[in-house]
Structure 1
Amino acid sequence: MATGQTTVDVGATPQAPQASTQKQHGKRPFHGHQRKNAKHRRKEKPPQEGSHEEVLLADIQALLASSKISDEAENGAVEAEAAPLPEQGTEIEVEVVELSSTGDGLAKRKGSDHIYVVPFSIPGDTVRIKGWTAADFISVVKPSELRDDSRVQCPYFANCSGCQFQMLDYAEQLKIKKNIVVKAYRNFSQLDPNLVPEVLDTIGSPLQYGYRTKLTPHFDGPKGNPRRGPKKSHESMPPFGFTPKNTRQVLDIEDCPIATEAVRKGLADERARLAVEYGKYTKGATILLRENTKRVPKSSPTDVPEVPENTPATALRVESDTHTDFKTCITDQNATSTEYIDSFVFTNPAGAFFQNNNSILPPFTAYIREHILPPSPPADAKPIRYLIDAYSGSGLFTITQSALFPGGSIGIDIAEKSIAYARRNAALNGLQEAQCRFLAADAPELFKSVSAYDPDETVVVLDPPRKGCDASFLRQLLQFAPRRVVYVSCNVHTQARDVGVLVRGEVEGVEGKKGVRYAIESIRGFDFFPQTGHVEGVAVLNRVDA
């Protein structure tokens, strides 16, 4: 079965759940043993990166803290002697007591307070493992009541690291993802819990399988090739697929059921091509598989449109009452892919970032549309007229929300190629520059470009990369002080960190203009990646006016 190696160390005496791990440089991080002399205790830093290790460590420390409190309540303050750890390589049975925000199970062995990190497990499972803190999952000894392995639709599950939750009912997956958002704000926002509203239920994906519009399988080069000089090519077809959890050996994968039908066909086609052409490769390669759609309108539900010119005969035909979609799979990074969200059309470089679950984008953009404006503004408040879409990419929010802003919407992104496509997308959707325009600029400098906008009439949408916003951007945002902020994120942990900054109204101790700060109106998760431990977050904030 699969292995689950994660560089995280814990001790019997936990830090507070908000404590951060040290950066990894081949050493295990400080794990919270108390020093005898308080003067020499390490100063704990707040969590910053939202990395896998940092998120996992916060969950482990919280579990250790709760276990200690429970033990003291039951047995008094006397500490029990910890059971010795098994020798490395010994197989043991452990019980999974909690699920971490990374999708890994957290398990304990009877008579020990040591925490084992076990992939592909869920609370209530008794599992056989091998290893210490980061354990290799071997098998399920006694399944949890939540586990139903008949739900698993992939033969590579528990080997491939792409999915963690295929054994779970989908409603249970959504509950887990809501809890991930809850813990993100508890561990990363550094806010008084009274300032964080109850996290709303996670919005599920219309498709739980067959939803991914992009995959990037890969294969390694021939073993033993020198760094310099002539290199030998493959003598047989190499494993082609994905890398198991925290290992380097590629797992050969013939199919991926979470991918769309077009992408699955593309994977089969590329495998067939590699089976013939493997001898041409002296190095490894990553192959792009991106769905592309050509849409032909129908005059009636029974209309049968002709196949568009230059459409491959192998294109998949998808019918609806209003149109027919012809779907293919692109493998050229520089080709242009086309996707539809309701009546909106978007083009992108096939290798560039765009959301990988088209099925959830209509309800997702509808939710943003319903919450981008204040629900009940004060009678004397100015109406919001302007939208600033920071980190706009090819214009997803700028375009889909533009009809709500009479003063105009502007999308700003550092990537000039993305802005070129955004302008093209605006034109494809019939939007004039006065209504929807785009600017290539570094996000921290964007507020210099919108100085004419009245902050009282402006809403800012943020959709940064996984690392979140940097301090310079957040400082400028507080200085500009828009009336409303909608923060969209693929990493709810860095989102919680940044939202905490906006609620406190300071960045690294520097206050924003006139002590500006924000209050959280709502927080909600969206499940862009069913069967995985990933959840996207949407936080809506309002400026607090004295």
Structure 2
Amino acid sequence: MSYSVNRNDRLNVYVEDLTHDGSGVAKVEGYPLFIPGALPGEEVDIQVGKTLKNYGFARLLNITKASPDRVKPPCNVFSQCGGCQMQHLSYEGQLVQKRKTVRDVMDRIAKLPHVPVHPVKGMDDPWRYRNKSQIPFSERDGKVVSGFYKSRTHHIVDTDICLIQSHEADDLMAMLKYELHAIGVDAYDEKTHLGLLRHLIVRTGRTSGEVMVILVTRKKKFTQKDAAIELIKRVVPNVTSIMQNFNTERTNVIFGDETVLLYGKPVIVDSIGNIDFEISARSFYQVNPIQTEVLYGQALEYAQLTGNESVIDAYCGIGTISLFIAQKAKEVYGVEIVPEAIEDAKRNAELNDINNAHFEAGPAEVVIPKWYADGKRFDVLVVDPPRKGCDEELLKTILEYKPKRVVYVSCNPGTLARDLRILEDGGYRTQEVQPVDMFPHSSHVECVAWLEI
């Protein structure tokens, strides 16, 4: 007779694992219960909440046996904010758990238990690593609130400090909150579609020290902009760029279509290794530049370039990996479906005086066959797709043309494992996988996989 788990049941359970979003997993007669705040190896008292056919959710009531890796989260709003999921787990424990996550999908989804998954490359100092912060503002009981959204909601958890973002972002978030009304600006209320300031975005160049501030407003008219500029300059004297983006729509999307310069210059500069990148208000750029260098260095190592190879960089974005690889390759061809990103990539190649990197806009599965039809031949293919993984048509294209080596950079172990299985079935052999911790204290982990035909 199977055990029946019912809503409001109070149970003592043993936590076996963590989910991809950092919740503990316990099983009652094989029935999984997801428990936010619980850690593997713990015995906990829980109260069952929602129950579905194949799994349920429970609330943590008490820890009767704590994990030796449990630590006190240094953030005062950790239990409310949805930004970090694993601050209650020691950093060493986080790295162990992230490796386990990758190992699990390599075994279960990719069916590659023999392929080595190396220990995760972590950070020496896993705090204050984000070079971009997107901070919502609103009004509550006549006061301005700002911070970050509670998990799975649009309720702002009000705070003045975020321990994974820059000090400049903290200072500006606090200053604007307390001085916004003083300069005659109201924060946005998404229920009434009133108020001016919707979001504060702060971008910092780790190597240059340059700071860009973007004020996202509900309307273009901004009569208090001079006062806002002076406030920002007072708090961050080294601010390089102040922009205004206006988003007039009733939407959860942060940016509107138009951005104007209020002060300084329209870009800031940052470097990965010895490659400089211009970053505009809307540019995609990795948010952890320290670990980006580690990630791209691993991709370069797996590419095993001697200087004679032609390389494809699919999903090339603004050319970050392409330009990194161009230093060691004969030539690099980058393809990206977003035309604006390709223009950024070309500009960044010029900025670094790199002449052996070529970029083209379009779907990779269309552009790559065109390159082959033009007589080009490639030794190595690098892919760095979004979380959904490689497009099915791109995987077919890879299997049709079969470059000797594939380096797969992934931000989602599950879709990486799915795609590795497809490439394996098409004749490739996965050599090894190296996880890299790009987002300490979150449940995310990036990986670089090396395949040979």
Which of the two has greater strand per residue? 2
Q: Tell me the equivalent position of 1:533.
A: 443
Partner residue in 2 for 1:292? 204
Unmatched 5+ stretches in structure 1: 1-80, 223-233, 298-309, 318-325, 376-382, 506-516
Distance 1:422 1:153, change over 3 A: same
Cα gap change, 1:358 to 1:246, in 2 (>3 Å): same
Shift of 1:201: 1.2
Q: CA deviation at 1:237?
A: 2.9
Contact 2:205 2:268 in 1 (8 A): yes
Selected match of 2:36 from 113, 119, 123: 119
- Written as runs of structure 1 = structure 2, the 5 A alignment for 1:129-168 is 129-130=46-47, 131-133=49-51, 134-150=56-72, 152-168=73-89
CA contact (8 A) 2:118 2:433 kept: yes
Q: 1:127 to 1:200 in 2, by over 3 A?
A: same
Deviations 1:139-193 (A, max 9, x none): 443352324433x21011122122122122222211111111111222322x354
**Contact 1:502-1:518 at 8 Å conserved across structures:** yes
Secondary structure at the residue paired with 2:174?
helix
Within 5 A, what are the aligned runs for 1:299-338? Answer: 312=233, 314-315=235-236, 332=245, 334=259, 335-338=266-269
Using a 3 Å threshold, how does the CA distance of structure 1 residues 279 and 144 change in structure 2: closer, same or farther? closer
Structure 1 residues 488, 414: CA separation in 2 closer, same or farther (over 3 Å shift)? same
Does residue 1:102 correspond to 2:24, yes or no? no
Residue number among 403, 410, 415 corresponding to 2:333 in the alignment:
410
Letter in 2 for 1:476: T
Q: Normalized against structure 1, the TM-score is what?
A: 0.67
Distance 1:444 1:116 in 2: 41
Query: Which amino acid in the other structure matches residue 121 of structure 2?
Result: I
| Residues 490 and 331 of structure 1: CA distance in aligned 2, closer, same or farther (over 3 Å) | farther
Residue number in structure 2 paired with 1:522: 432
Distance 1:357 1:538, change over 3 A: same
Rounded to whole Å, the distance in 1 between the matches of 2:177 and 2:193 is 16
Q: Does 1:174 align with 2:95?
A: yes
CA distance in 2, matches of 1:342, 1:158: 36
1:320 counterpart residue number = none
Answer yes or no: is the 8 Å Cα contact 2:305–2:329 preserved in 1: no
2:411 aligns with 490
Alignment pair present for 1:364 and 2:295? yes
Q: Which of these two proteins has the greater Rg computed from alpha carbons?
A: 1
When normalised by structure 2's length, the TM-score is 0.79
- Partner AA of 1:215 in structure 2: S
Matched, 1:422 2:341: no
3-state SS of the aligned residue for 2:313?
strand
Q: Cα–Cα, structure 1 residues 486 and 294, in superposed 2: closer, same or farther, change >3 Å? A: closer
Q: Is the 8 A contact 2:24 2:40 kept in 1?
A: yes
* Equivalent-residue separation in structure 1 for 2:208 and 2:392 (angstroms): 46
Indicate how the Cα distance of structure 1 residues 171 and 349 shifts in structure 2: closer, same or farther if over 3 A, else same: same
Query: Given that residues 145 and 177 in structure 2 are in contact (C-alpha distance below 8 angstroms), is that contact kept between their aligned partners in structure 1?
Result: no
Partner of 1:39: none
C-alpha distance in 2 between matches for 1:403 and 1:461: 15
Name the residue aligned to 1:339: 270
What residue is the counterpart of 2:170 in the other structure?
264
Distance (Å, rounded) in 1 between the aligned partners of 2:358 and 2:75? 44
Q: 2-side partners of 1:475 and 1:386: how far apart?
A: 20
* Pairs aligned (count): 402
The code of the aligned residue for 2:204 comes to: N
Q: Check if 1:443 corresponds to 2:355.
A: no
Q: Percent identity?
A: 26
CA–CA separation in structure 2 for the residues paired with 1:480 and 1:98: 40
Is the contact made by 1:388 and 1:460 (CA closer than 8 Å) also made in structure 2?
yes
Mapped to 1, the partners of 2:398 and 2:316 lie a distance apart of 16
C-alpha distance in 2 between matches for 1:214 and 1:164? 19
Q: 1:237 aligns with which of 130, 143, 160?
A: 143
- Paired residue type of 2:118: L
Cα gap change, 1:523/1:144 in structure 2, threshold over 3 Å: closer, same or farther? same
Alignment check: 8 A CA contact 2:144 2:187 kept: no
One-letter amino acid of the structure 2 residue matched with residue 265 of structure 1: D
